Amino acid sequence: MSNPDPLSLLNEEGRDKIERMFSSCEEIVGLNHVAKIISGEKSHSGDNQLNAYIGLEPSGKAHLGWMILAETMQKMLDEGVNITVLLADWHAWVNDKFSRDMEKISLAADYMSEVFRVLLGHPKEGSGPGEIRFIRASEMMDSGKYWERVLRCSKNMSLSRVRRTFSIMGRDEDSSDHDLSAFFYPALQSADIFELQIDIALGGMDQRKAHMYMREVADRNKWVKATCIHTPMLSGLKGAGGRMDSYDHKMSKSDPNNAILLHDTPKKLDKKLRKAFLEVGNDNSAIYEIAKYVLFPRLGKLVVEPKPEFGKPSEWHNIETFISAINDGEVHPFDAKMAISRGLQEILTPISMYFSDKSDLLDTMNLITGSQ
């Protein structure tokens, strides 16, 4: 007998609430947990408060993918969900970020908090409905139960099972046989979710394997199994190169020339986008992903402004017609790229203005990442 549709548990208001919260997600796994809470059952923490979490390694400067995460975070805040941003400092140490320099990792955590504050419009901070809190893993690990949870999340999991999750760290399956700590990473991430009594685990699609590991642990231990929501990933500007299931092709701060950083100047944006992969007849391009997932949701349109001798300005209001116009020759790829650049300049201006008043923090990040 098939499981009933989780939405069947809800009235129209409840279904609308879920649609508003998760409309920007690419995948939802285990929706029934959230549906039951909205219909009146207790949450993981034992009350009616929905608690969401996202775990992030403090590892470098912010790129455009953070805006996609922030969009779903904002929608959940608007619906009264409490969100914990776990600044995963020890996870970053395990993953060799900043050569395991915890002072640098801590500075990156300070910076990460500020970026999400500005992306979310400085929401109220706390543990109540519609509020956000920033917690460091190093603080949470002092809990007397935390390391017990890590052990329970590791018990009866084979090394081959753990290796299959290594893409969550940006590693190949065979890359860490010399490093035992890496094998605890998925157990740490799962323990975080159980320790925080989370109802909704948020991440990009690259975190799916970690969340599936957590759900397997929950089944084995008969623990509460959080709903997992996954947002789309942006490809690197150079185009897809690696295996799609490993997200080797994703936009990453580790390769600044292949990514849009939130602090990129207009000049840098123009330079990067001129070089970005965009091929007529090929719908796989970061240019289209940026338009679809970042610009159209925020601006509602893209304005293409070619030089007068090459055509008239035009407006585009959805990704389908924008792609068709390029494939049909109505819009030149170069003009499309410059439209993307202008759109990005518009939405990134508030971030630039905010950090102009916090130049010391950005200067510190530039120093420890070796960038400008």
pLDDT of residue 48: 87
Rounded Cα–Cα distance for residues 275 and 271 (Å): 7
Class of domain 6-231: alpha beta
pLDDT of residue 372: 54
pLDDT of residue 354: 93
Read off the pTM. 0.92
Q: Mean pLDDT of residues grouped by 10 in the chain (372 residues)?
A: 74 96 97 96 94 96 96 98 97 93 97 97 97 96 88 88 74 67 90 97 95 95 97 90 52 83 96 96 96 97 93 96 97 97 97 90 92 64
Cβ atoms 55, 88 nearer than 8 A: yes
pLDDT of residue 15: 96
pLDDT of residue 245: 46
pLDDT of residue 169: 62
> What CATH architecture does domain 244-369 belong to?
Orthogonal Bundle (1.10)
pLDDT of residue 175: 63
pLDDT of residue 244: 43
pLDDT of residue 171: 59
Residue boundaries of the structural domains of the chain: 6-231, 244-369
pLDDT of residue 370: 85
pLDDT of residue 273: 97
On the 0-12 / 13-18 / 19+ scale of CB atoms within 10 A, 211 is: buried
pLDDT of residue 242: 43
